[in-house]
Amino acid sequence: MKRGAVTYGSAWALVTGAGSGIGRCYALRLAALGYRLLIAGDRREPLEAVGREIEALGGAEVRICAIDLARTEAARELFDHVQTEGIAVDVLINNAGIFSFCDILATPPERIERIILLHDVTATQLSRLCAADMIRRGVRGHILNMASYSLWMPFPGLALYSASKAYLKSFSVAFAREVGERNIRVTAVCPAGVATDLYGLTPYWQRIGLRLGVLISADSCARRGLKALWRGRRCIVPDWWNRIWIPLCKALPMCVLRPLRRYTMKFQK
């Protein structure tokens, strides 16, 4: 069997933000490994499309939960839904995210709140609820949290996004140490540019980014993320060349960032 594979239909995986991009690829790959799936997101139509795609490929059972995860009570509501459906989650993928490229003073307060709720509060609470249930059942559990390379890039326009992802990475590494002895593995995945619609790039520019090596595909990110999870890695940056730039990103002086900020102001939204 492949690493991470299970007897067909014998285990459940929960993937948030599974309607497109990296979340969709996580769902497809977990289905190929034999998992039954509960896929969650804020829009039912994309989730149903992914469900049909998995069924067409001969995947195991897929259930859908349309839910707004950027709310204080979202994690508890989703976990209650899991329990009501009789699902025992063995793999949790906290993938749902909102990208923000805008100065804090120009960001509406409600958007600040929603991003922090989604990236940090919901992911933390859902990790806690699922880990406690895994421990109670005595199974080997796996939790993957999607952080971001931008946590090493506290640049103008990324203050909110990079800070929320920095929390998620720090939480994941510390939580992994807390529950490691209880047979739970936790991994934070910190990709740089990924060819998805998250950043607002058109398909043309996504293809250009892939050809230049500036972006990686969503499926490549999901494959490397799951590989790190099965191996018990606490934190991973897909693609080695991105890792070598981390010290430079953290050390860029304002004399470099100031003209960069003036140029990027027109892209902020």
CA-based nearest residue to 45, from 78, 82, 18: 18
CB proximity list for 70: less than 8 A, separation 6 or greater:
42, 98, 114, 115, 117, 118, 122
d(CA 27, CA 126): 18
Tens digit of pLDDT at every position of the chain (269 positions): 788 999 999 999 999 999 999 999 999 999 999 999 999 999 999 999 999 999 999 888 999 999 999 999 999 999 999 999 999 999 999 999 998 888 899 899 999 999 999 999 999 999 999 999 999 999 999 999 999 988 887 777 888 999 999 999 999 999 999 999 999 999 999 998 777 766 666 777 778 776 777 677 889 999 999 999 999 999 999 876 666 766 666 666 666 566 666 655 655 55
**The one catalytic residue among 26, 35, 149, 161:** 161
Is 1 within a domain? Answer: no
Neighbour tally for 85: CB within 10 Å: 11
Is 251 within a domain? Answer: yes
CATH number of the CATH domain containing 248: 3.40.50.720
Is 178 within a domain? Answer: yes
**The one catalytic residue among 26, 35, 165, 167:** 165
Is 91 in contact with 131 (CB distance < 8 Å)?
no
Q: Which residues pair with 39 in a beta bridge?
A: 15, 64
* Six-digit token string for 17: 């933000």
Number of domains within the chain? 1
Q: Establish whether 169 is a catalytic residue.
A: no
Q: Establish whether 263 is a catalytic residue.
A: no
Domain residue limits at 237: 12-267
d(CA 108, CA 17): 23
At residue 61, the pLDDT reads 94
Q: Which residues pair with 184 in a beta bridge?
A: 141
* Cut 0.85: pTM above it: yes
Is 232 within a domain? Answer: yes
Q: Is the dihedral of CA 52, 189, 102, 266 positive or negative?
A: negative
Is 6 within a domain? Answer: no
Is 4 within a domain? Answer: no
Is 188 within a domain? Answer: yes
Is 113 within a domain? Answer: yes
